[in-house]
Every structure is written in C-alpha cells, then in structure tokens.
Structure 1
Amino acid sequence: MDLIPSSTRCWSWGSETNLPIPVIDLVSFAFGRSSEYDENRPIFIDARNTSNFITIRSAKALVCKLCKGLKTIGLKDGDCVGIHSYNNILTPVLFLGIIAAGGIVSGSNPAYTPRELSHHFATTNTKYLFVHRDCLNAKNQRECAENEAWLTSECGLSPETVFQFDDETLIHARSNQNSTREDISPLSPVPAFSDLLDLFVRGSQEWQHNHEDDKVLQKPAIYATTSGTTGLPKAAVIPHQYIVAQAVMLEDQYRPRVGQISQLITLPVFHAFAAQLALVLPLRTGISTYFLPRFHLEEYIDCISRFRITDTPVVPPIISSLVQCAKRNGKSEEIKNKLQSLRNIVCAGAPLSYAMQKQFCDCLSLQCHVRQCWGTTEVGWVTLWSMTGRDQTGSVGHLTANTQLKLLTADGTAVTNEGDEGEACIRSPSMYLGYRNLSSSGPPVDAEGFYHTGDLAYYKDNKVFITGRIKDIMKIKSWQVSPQEVENVILEDPRVADCAVVGVTHEDEPGMDATLIRAYVVRGGGQLGDEDLASAIKTRVSSELASYKRLTGGVLFIDEVPRNAAGKILRYKLRKF
C-alpha cells in the first residue's frame, strides 16, 4: 500500500477498506437486523446450563423492561450504572438496557479488592450497580462479604441502588410472564435484579430512536477502565459511535462467512477486546454465543468440543495453557480432536511470535485461522489478521476498516519509510472522548486527531508489527498494570523509603515471553530482615490489589532508586540489575 496523506498535514498509512458509519443510537443499531434471523433461536447461551438462554426476541423485551424500570426508579440521563460480574448471558441485556435508559455503563473487574472497587466507583461516579451474587463471596472480598452491605460500607453506594442477579434470574423472570404489575413495591436492601424486571413484565419499546441527529454518535455510552500509561486506572469515555463503528467493521468480516458460526466467550466482556464480539455482534449477525463465567482450561476445551464451537477470542496465556496441555502426557492428538471444530481464533493482549503460533496451530485443524489483533481501550480494535492463509511473520495484522496509522520518531518526526520504527498513532471513527474528570493526563490525542498509543511499531507489506513500548505500562497476562499503582501500595509501608516497580521478562514452558512484576525497594526504618520485609511487602500488595498485580518477580533491595533530574524513575537501569 502506498503512503497516503491524511486529511491534515501528517502522513499516514490507511486501511484498504472504508465503510459508512450509520448515524443511529447504539441500541437501535444493535437490533437493526433482528428481523433477518429467527428471533426465537437462542443467541446468548449459558455454556454451563444450556437451558438458560436469551433469544433475540427476549433480549429486546428484557432491554425494554430494564430501560423502563431504571427510568422509573430515578435513573437520570448520564448517570453511571456499574456491572460487577463474571461473564453472564444477562450482561448484553444489562449493557443495552442501561444505555437505552440514557445511562452510562461501567464494568468492574470481579478480581478487584475493596480498595480497587472504591477507586473505580469514585472515578466513574457510579449511581446504580448490578452485581452477580458470586462476586459477593469472592475470596479477596471475604471480610466485606460477611453481610451484603460491603458495597455500601466500602464503596459509598446506597443499598436501594444495588441489584443482585444470578444464573436463576431469567428462570425467575420467565415464571412471572403472566403478571401485569406495573407498580413499584418497596425494594429490600440489596434487592434482586429480577424484582426490577418484574415491575414491567409487559415492557414496551422505551428507548428513543435517533436516525438523524449526529450528536447521538458522540453521546457517552461506556466508562471503560484503563490504566492509560501512568497512575491509577482511569475511566475512558466511550461514545455510541465507537461501538457502532467497531461493530460495522466486524460485521463486514463475519457476515460473509458460510455455515453456522458459534462462538465461546470466556474472556471478560467488560474488557474492550471481548466486548466487541460478545455484546452487539451476535444481535447483528445471528451468531450463537456461549458464555463461560471465566477461563478454566478443562471446561473451556470441553465446551469447544461439546458445542462444536467455531470461533473464540483468546489471549496469549490461554494459548500457552492449551499448548502445555497438549504436550502433557502425550495428549496432543486428544486435544487436537477436541478443538477440531474451531475455524477462527482471534488473539489479542500481546504480540504472538510465529514460533508460538506454529506450536498452537499444531493443535488445531488445518482449516482454523489464528488471527492476531491489536488495539487499545481508547480506540478499540486497530488491526486484525485476515481469514486467508496462516501468518508466518509475527504481524498483528492489517489495519481495520476506516483506520489510519502514523508513526512518529522520538523527536516527533513522521516515519515515511516502510520498515522504520516509531510510536504508533491511530485515527479512526472508534475514538474515545477523553478520560472522565481528567482533561490532560494519559496518552494524548494530537491536533490532527491521532491517539498516541505508546506502542512502538513498524509498517511493512500492508501489515503492522508491534516491537515494544515507550511508556511505563506493563502487560501482565494481557492485563494492563501501571507500575505507579503498585508503587503507591508499597510506599504505604512505613519501613519503605522509596521503591520502583518494573516488568521483567520470563520465558514460560512453551517458550512464550511472560512479564513478571518486580519491586526494587529502598529500606526505611524497622527491624525486619530483608527476607521478612520482602514477604510483608508481597503480602501487602496481594491484599490490596488484584491477583495479576502481585509481585511475581520478587522484591530486591537497593540503595537508591535511579531518577533523572526531574525525579522520573529510570526503569531501564533497574532492568539491568
């Protein structure tokens, strides 16, 4: 592809595909093709209990009920409504129902500790919350879960604004289909989500369709948690257009495929990667979508085999687990047989080497394509490998529809030669609107409308290759982790005078690079020896932060944290220790 000029001054490479983005609200868009499919066929299916499912018809009815219910209990336009849950077939309904009512959705990680949840709810200014009962008894929240008031006592939510749901919610809702109640009875503390649905069992099309006003495209729909590049997690403001544009791009790839497609979702749908596949795409394309609450290797393999799954999104740690499982005790042929139905695997979270792809492909049918994807929370999917042939280059794929890429050197000069490295900057219809209550922090969108990702990349033969990072952020098991967040927790220990956290590379069993978090600590006061203090620091981090933020790379004691004249930590020097 030739280098093309962007619409402003800077040079960029552009996607070969340009697709029109309809001017329409997200909810109307999501159901816009429903008449093309059998609306009574299960579309969202509980992989653990397939009798628990949602059809396109019932999804629309549930969204209408939820929309009316939320408006009636007082939800105002622009209020944030949280979803604290593992994957569940109700998640797409909640997602669309909240947005239909004028709310803004924000999903939180079930692995979060009370400290992290409190920060999340404060950052997003959450007014209402839907919580799955399994999350109330999560191990890292046990002290708060002795009674169901932990959300209110720790996170500042009123009991009457917190709604519980579980895997029986739909069964309960179906048993009350003949009810005609439309009054609101007193809600008990931490009421059930099904109580809210029961208020409006008849339902009606409550959301406001908008096919003309382009302002609807820039209306916020999601607060997506992201570590950005520094500091504590932030709330990226995601508008309707971002989600519609991503769905249009994926529809263009999925709708022409021949045969019945079924996908298995085990990655968290509050994350920007899996969300694009799980929440709107099934309603637009009729893809049967099975949900597992979270990833368990044996269960995941069993579901692929049992339901003849054709599509599934993964991250590199899942690929590593599958490869190790295939090698263990000579199970290669057994695993390959169970994965025979797979035809389309999309991998994101970190670049996947060709060597690792080859090992993984040895476990799969020759008809299965492993497609790398690269993107960010702020701009969605940026690249995706095609469905033709297997990649042998290690590229993260081709630019997605309507996307432009420019590369900048360290001094801000535009890269104009294929193969030359620079910071990847992206412009597309899927652009965030900034961070909530933060006007100038995090990666910038420049004057030409390009988002600066902090990733180093080069472009060659119509493909994008990611080579590293220019920012401090670490990728741990495909999760973004800010060193500063971990450092802040360590520095709360009075026996620590200073510290710095870095990611160190470790090669796992199949030969895939993994990042471990290591803390370099300058001792303060106290009588503990190095070993005991290191143990205390690890315990503190484990108790205050999610499990993937633990100090798996250990604690090392140093005399001084290297910093520049401005006080910035020189992390590259620590990696040489």
Structure 2
Amino acid sequence: MLRKPNYVYGEDTLLKVPMPLNFAKYVLRQIWSYKHGIALINGKTHEKLTFRDLAKSAMNLAISLNRMGVGKGDVIAICSENRQEFFSTLIGIICTGATVTCVNPAYTKGELKHVLGISKPKIIFYSPVAYKTHVKTLETLPYLQKLVLFGQERQNNTLLYEELAKPVHQIKGFATEDGNSVNQDEIVLENFAVVDVMGQTDTAVILYSSGTTGLPKGVMLTHMNLIASCEAPDTVDPKEMSLHITPWYHVMGMIGVARIFYSGGTVVYLSKFDADFFMKTIEAYKVVQMVVAPPVLIAVCKSQANYDVSTVKIMYCGAAPLRDDTIAAVKQRFPKLIAVLQGYGMTECTLAATRDTYLEAQETKVGGVGRVIANNIIKIVDVETRKILGPNQPGEICLKGPSIMKGYVGKDRRDDFDDEEFFRTGDIGYYDDDKYFFIVDRLKELIKYKGYQVAPAEIEAVLLQHPGIRDAGVVGVPHETGGEVPRAFVVHQSGSNLSEEEIKAFVAEKLSNPKHIRGGVRFVSEIPKTPSGKIMRKLLREMVKAKSKL
C-alpha cells in the first residue's frame, strides 16, 4: 500500500462536505453568509447583484421548477451569453436534483440539434438574443416542453424567468408540504431544502467537449466533481476585484466564477470582448486580477487605448497555450503586474488538472502550467508501451481524482479510462524535478482557436457534403492572435472548378465562427491516408511546413 514513485500526487486536503451533498446546497450555504456583499457587476451596465439576492432568486426558481414537476432524472438547459440571471438559474436547477446542461448560443442549427440531442432537455432557459437565433430550430425538438426567457419581453409559448424567480409569497397558490401557507415576506436559507442526491455518482452538469470523432461529446460532471474543484486552493485572491469575460457555458467561465463566489469575491463581467472597453472597465473598477484566454491578452497589448491599468497585479490565462513573447508584452503593458499564471485542464477534469496560484506567483516557470491540484494524481505514460515515466520524460498525461468526470453521455467509460481508473487525456507533457508540469503536444487532433476546441473531422464532414469536393483533410496552422486556425486540403471532384472562397463560404454557412477556414485552402491530388483509411495528419502538417519554406 505504498505510493507509486513516478505518480505525481496533489496535496491531500480533507473535503469539508459529506459525499451525498447537493452542489447547490454547498454553494448556497456559503454565499448566504456573505449577506449583502456584491457577487456580480455587469461592467457594461454597472448593474450589481448581491450574494443574498443571487441566493434568493436561485431558491425561488427551484421552488417554481419543483412545482412544474422538475426533479431528479430531468435535464434543464441554459443557452445564454453572460447575464445576471445565469448563476441563479444554474444553482436553482441543481437544487431540484435535475441536471443542468449549458449550450453555446453561437451554435449553428446543426450543432445545436446535435448537442441537445445528447442531453434532451425538457426545459431551456434562453437569453433574448440567443432565442431569436434559435427559435425555428427549437420548434423542431420533440423532447422540449417549455422555454423560459431572461429579460422582460415575452414571446409566444414562453415563460419569463423573472416570474419564476419572484419571491415565494408572490407565487400563486404556493404552500408548504404540510399544506400551510407561507407567511414570510422572503425566502430564507433556513426554511429551504434542496433535493438529496448521491454526490459521487449523480450528474449535476453536462457540458460539451469536442473529440477526435469530430462531434461534441456530453461530459457528465457530478456534484462531487464540482465540489472538489471549488475546494482546491484559490487560483486568484478572492479579496481582490476580478474581471471575467470567459463565457459561463464553458467550464473555465462557469467553475472559475463559482470558485470566486464560494470564497466571497466580487466578479466584474462582460458579455463580449472589446479591447478598448475591456481596458476602460479595468480603470473604472480598479481591477486587480483577471481571467482571460491568450487572444484577449494579445488584443489588449495591441490596443492604443489610454486607460489606467496600474491596478492589475495578477492575470490567470487558460484555454490555450501562452507564448513567451506574449507574456513579455503583457508585462510591458501592465506596469504593476506581478505574474501571469497559467494552468492545464479541460472540461473532463472540471476546469484544471494543474495550475499556478496567486500564493505561488513568484514560483512560476516560463512555459509551464503549474503543479497538480489538491486531491488529484497525475501519471505520465509512454504512448506506445504504457510504461510509467519519470521526471523530464514526455508522455501521455493521465488524470485521476475527485474532479475527474463521471464519463461521456452514452459512451462506455472503459473507452477513456485505463485499468487503474486514470482518464487518458491524449495530451503529451512532462514534469520536471520540482514536479512542475509542461505541455508538449496533443495526441488528439483538436485545433485550439482562441480557447475553442475545433475538431478537424467535423469540418471534414461538412466539406465532403459539397458535390464539388471528392476528399478533404483539415489541420491547424499557427495564427498570431488565434493560436491555431483550420487549413483545408481539398481534392476536387472531377470536372469541378470550386474556388477557395466558395469553400470558405460553404463551411461558414454550416459551422460556427471558430470552425471557419481561416488558414486557407490548398488543392491537392489526394489526401494521405493509412491502409485503414485514417487521414495521416502528420503528413498534412509536413506539407504545411514545406509550403511555408518555399
């Protein structure tokens, strides 16, 4: 019963909650204690939301959903940009024992139908903007029973969030379980009970992660996964003002903000990124720390906006690799910056597997992604032999611990976990003698564009739908601001004179923005493949390099 010498163990911390606890209860009892402290500030409108109001709205919404028959076994979706209602909706749904699924509002019709077909939600909460985009598609979903809109404008056959989240005493006909009427003016935590769940096994959230198959997969995160992620040491200082622009339907935004809430910190947020306004918000709120993806930092460094950003001390950057020259430019742009912190993670590990923290800001290493988080274990294995590797030996990163997902919806867990129950990430990395981790490459073929995971196979499937294309292959090529962008290799159908611009337009019509062919189109006589028919992307990448040297 000895620890294995080449496994890297995170610090052992005793979780402060029992395993069966509902994640919503875990969050509610904490944020309730912060009373009228400010949880959220809309950086655009300056609208503020206190912890108490967030908690009350969540509890009121849970009661309304419960009265509508929502409970364990149900899936309820949220499709929205960052808004004040998002987290109260998320927490309120989880209170009922139901599972939340969060959907990217920028999905195309085909993408939306695919991901919703995985989880089959009976109710969807929509922002007005996202609703207008998807309303015709929603009408075709047989499993969808109700639509709830944020804001005050009601549409045909929809409910309004603000009516479901109103104070309990204003809900017509509401009574307690014993039949007595409610006399209190407002709900309080002491009189509220969440639905019991089995924290280690019941799914709290389904998020979507692209895989090598080219189609998004439903990642099942349990209540315990979420709790374990919140229990890990703080990445940023909860006592200081934080600025977030990462989308909350993504694990980086959702869990990143939830962790700050749990610690009582205030989050200033924006629903979309504009470099000048981003800088203006930093000045207006004297932001000390922010959580961003590399493209944001690049855009900010190039911005000519003249705002006072001297309050910024800590930046946490994730979702894509950060180049050394970018770090240098950031430090020049922000004169009082102490450190740019990084981490390595994915949806499947409920945010992060390794990370730097603000308490260790002086111990970061250039090009590194920090140390393994508390209560988790990482092993590096040889890609071919599966032998466990030691320090400074690159291999596949495998993860185990309480924050690692339950599995993918409808997929055999054994396909993605080894016989020791380690999740096989498909990423190549190593750790040094100080157990500090570095990422080398990806076994997976995903293209990382501005933090989005773009699957080449998904783009290839669309390309092959065009009658003028006989065959196609897609790889990522370096891009100054996006990290990587897709480049298509295309074989013309006999007699076809299809142009590059026509191909780009065809893909843009069918796939969302990150999947557009920004890296260009190269026409070839054939796509290199293995005897079994798999595209040899390594050869395509070599063709990219060879062309660039001409």
What is the TM-score normalised by the length of structure 1? 0.84
Match of 2:431 among 430, 452, 459: 459
The Cα of 1:157 is off from its aligned counterpart by: 5.8
The Cα of 1:570 is off from its aligned counterpart by: 0.3
Q: Is the 8 A contact 2:236 2:357 kept in 1?
A: no
The Cα of 1:421 is off from its aligned counterpart by: 0.6
CA distance in 2, matches of 1:190, 1:220: 27
Q: Is the 8 A contact 1:151 1:157 kept in 2?
A: no
Match of 1:26 among 12, 23, 27: 23
Equivalent residue number for residue 182 of structure 2: none
Q: Is the 8 A contact 1:28 1:209 kept in 2?
A: no
Match of 1:49 among 45, 50, 58: 45
Equivalent residue number for residue 91 of structure 1: 86
Q: Which amino acid aligns with 2:485?
A: L
Equivalent residue number for residue 538 of structure 2: 572
Give the secondary-structure state (helix, strand or coil) at the position aligned to 1:576. helix
Equivalent residue number for residue 183 of structure 2: none
Q: Which amino acid aligns with 1:79?
A: D
Equivalent residue number for residue 386 of structure 1: 357
CA offsets 1:372-420 (integer angstroms, 9 cap, x no match):
0110110131111133316352101111111211111122333433111
Equivalent residue number for residue 179 of structure 1: none
Determine if the alignment matches structure 1 residue 517 to structure 2 residue 483.
Answer: no
Match of 2:449 among 471, 476, 482: 476
Determine if the alignment matches structure 1 residue 107 to structure 2 residue 102.
Answer: yes
Match of 1:269 among 214, 231, 248: 248
Equivalent residue number for residue 424 of structure 1: 397
Give the secondary-structure state (helix, strand or coil) at the position aligned to 1:568. coil
CA distance in 2, matches of 1:93, 1:41: 16
Determine if the alignment matches structure 1 residue 236 to structure 2 residue 219.
Answer: yes
Q: Which amino acid aligns with 1:438?
A: K
Instruction: For structure 2, list consecutive stretches of 5 or more residues without a partner in the other structure.
Output: 171-185, 544-550
Q: Is the 8 A contact 1:114 1:155 kept in 2?
A: no
Q: How many residues align?
A: 518
CA offsets 1:115-134 (integer angstroms, 9 cap, x no match):
11111111111111000002
CA distance in 2, matches of 1:154, 1:368: 52
- Map of 1:538-553 to 2, 5 A cutoff? 538-553=504-519
Equivalent residue number for residue 127 of structure 1: 122
- Map of 1:334-353 to 2, 5 A cutoff? 334=306, 338-353=308-323
Match of 1:194 among 130, 145, 162: 162
Q: Is the 8 A contact 2:101 2:207 kept in 1?
A: yes
Equivalent residue number for residue 373 of structure 2: 400
Equivalent residue number for residue 208 of structure 1: 194
Q: Which amino acid aligns with 1:349?
A: A
Q: Which amino acid aligns with 2:266?
A: S
Give the secondary-structure state (helix, strand or coil) at the position aligned to 1:216. coil
Equivalent residue number for residue 209 of structure 2: 226
- Map of 1:178-327 to 2, 5 A cutoff? 189-198=157-166, 200=168, 201=170, 202-203=186-187, 205-208=191-194, 215-251=198-234, 260-278=239-257, 280-325=258-303
Q: Once structures 1 and 2 are overlaid, which stretch shifts more, 512-521 or 404-413?
A: 512-521
CA distance in 1, matches of 2:542, 2:117: 38
Q: Once structures 1 and 2 are overlaid, which stretch shifts more, 362-371 or 124-133?
A: 362-371
What is the TM-score normalised by the length of structure 2? 0.88
Give the secondary-structure state (helix, strand or coil) at the position aligned to 1:484. helix
Give the secondary-structure state (helix, strand or coil) at the position aligned to 1:304. helix
**Moved >6 Å (runs of 4+):** none
RMSD of aligned residue pairs (Cα, Å):
2.4
CA distance in 1, matches of 2:419, 2:277: 48
Residues 209 and 365 (structure 1 numbering): CA distance in 2 closer, same or farther, change over 3 Å?
Answer: farther
CA distance in 1, matches of 2:114, 2:66: 26
CA offsets 1:13-66 (integer angstroms, 9 cap, x no match):
1124534352222111112334543x112212222222x332121122111111
Q: Which amino acid aligns with 1:410?
A: V
- Map of 1:487-506 to 2, 5 A cutoff? 487-506=460-479
Q: Is the 8 A contact 1:15 1:401 kept in 2?
A: yes
Q: Once structures 1 and 2 are overlaid, which stretch shifts more, 104-113 or 201-210?
A: 201-210
Match of 2:69 among 46, 65, 74: 74
Give the secondary-structure state (helix, strand or coil) at the position aligned to 1:31. helix
Q: Which amino acid aligns with 1:446?
A: D
> Could you tell me the percent identity over the aligned residues?
24
Give the secondary-structure state (helix, strand or coil) at the position aligned to 1:134. helix
Residues 207 and 495 (structure 1 numbering): CA distance in 2 closer, same or farther, change over 3 Å?
Answer: farther
Q: Which amino acid aligns with 2:162?
A: S
CA distance in 2, matches of 1:235, 1:34: 29
Q: Which amino acid aligns with 2:341?
A: R
Q: Is the 8 A contact 1:249 1:401 kept in 2?
A: yes
CA distance in 2, matches of 1:36, 1:221: 23
The Cα of 1:74 is off from its aligned counterpart by: 2.3
